[in-house]
């Protein structure tokens, strides 16, 4: 009985997040109606408030889901690189490139900071930071990167990728900005190398 109740709660949460994700991507956070959103999935506003507290809580869940997917995609791309250094660059570049995705632009990079505040404080960003820090620590141990503070380097690399993505999302011509942002990101990261190639 308790298991079924937990399953139903998870199902309700998943329905609400999926409906909100669609509404926020299509209409934006401000224009998304909570009455329409809940009615679309056969639920009440009470279910939304019970599960997320309010519209902002639902936005946090949606942003967390999309941001986690972005991190996972970037890590998969990084893992296919020939070594940890190229993987680190590939991960950052992939994250920046995701700013070209309309859903990512609107929900995570434009509305997300406006509603939820500083993205570097989001829980999903913290897991990205920890993964980057581990990679930086390995690269320092191998002598590939200068012996800098690993957390500082990871924070600056992640911050550079995040700010590049924010710049792309807010620009008039994201496709024009993207190559400039990636080139600058790669040059910044290269400054950490122990020996310039």
pLDDT band, very low/low/confident/very high, at 180 (cuts 50, 70, 90)? very high
Residue 144: is its pLDDT beyond 70?
Answer: yes
- pLDDT for residue 197: 52
Q: What tokens were used for 100?
A: 């070209």
Q: Residue range 136-161: average pLDDT?
A: 96
Average pLDDT value over all residues in the chain: 92
pLDDT tens for residues 75-98? 999 999 999 999 999 999 999 999
Distances (CA, A) of 195 to 83, 92, 147, 151, 190: 16, 21, 12, 20, 9
Residue with the bigger pLDDT between 176 and 126: it is: 176
Average the pLDDT over each of 8-12, 74-78, 104-108, 182-186 and give the range with the smallest value.
Answer: 8-12
% of the chain surpassing 90 pLDDT: 74
Averaged over 164-186, what is the pLDDT? 96
Q: Which of 1-5, 85-89, 123-127 has the highest mean pLDDT?
A: 85-89
SS3 9: helix
pTM assigned to the model? 0.89
* pLDDT (mean) for 39-52: 89
CA distance 171 to 110: 11
């Amino acid at each position: 009985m308790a298991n079924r109740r937990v399953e139903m709660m998870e199902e309700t949460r998943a329905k609400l997040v999926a409906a909100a994700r669609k509404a926020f991507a299509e209409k934006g956070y401000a224009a998304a109606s909570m009455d329409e959103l809940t009615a679309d999935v056969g639920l009440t506003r009470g279910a939304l408030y019970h599960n997320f507290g309010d519209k902002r809580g639902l936005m946090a869940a949606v942003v967390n889901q999309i941001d986690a997917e972005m991190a996972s995609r970037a890590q998969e791309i990084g893992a296919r690189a020939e070594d940890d250094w190229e993987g680190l660059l590939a991960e950052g570049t992939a994250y920046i490139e995701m700013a070209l995705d309309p859903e990512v632009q609107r929900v995570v990079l434009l509305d997300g900071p406006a509603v939820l505040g500083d993205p570097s404080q989001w829980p999903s960003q913290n897991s990205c930071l920890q993964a980057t820090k581990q990679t930086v620590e390995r690269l320092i141990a191998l002598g590939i990167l200068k012996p800098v503070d690993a957390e500082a380097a990871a924070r600056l690399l992640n911050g550079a990728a995040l700010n590049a993505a924010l710049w792309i999302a807010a620009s008039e011509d994201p496709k024009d900005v993207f190559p400039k942002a990636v080139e600058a990101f790669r040059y910044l990261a290269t400054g950490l190398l122990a020996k310039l190639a």
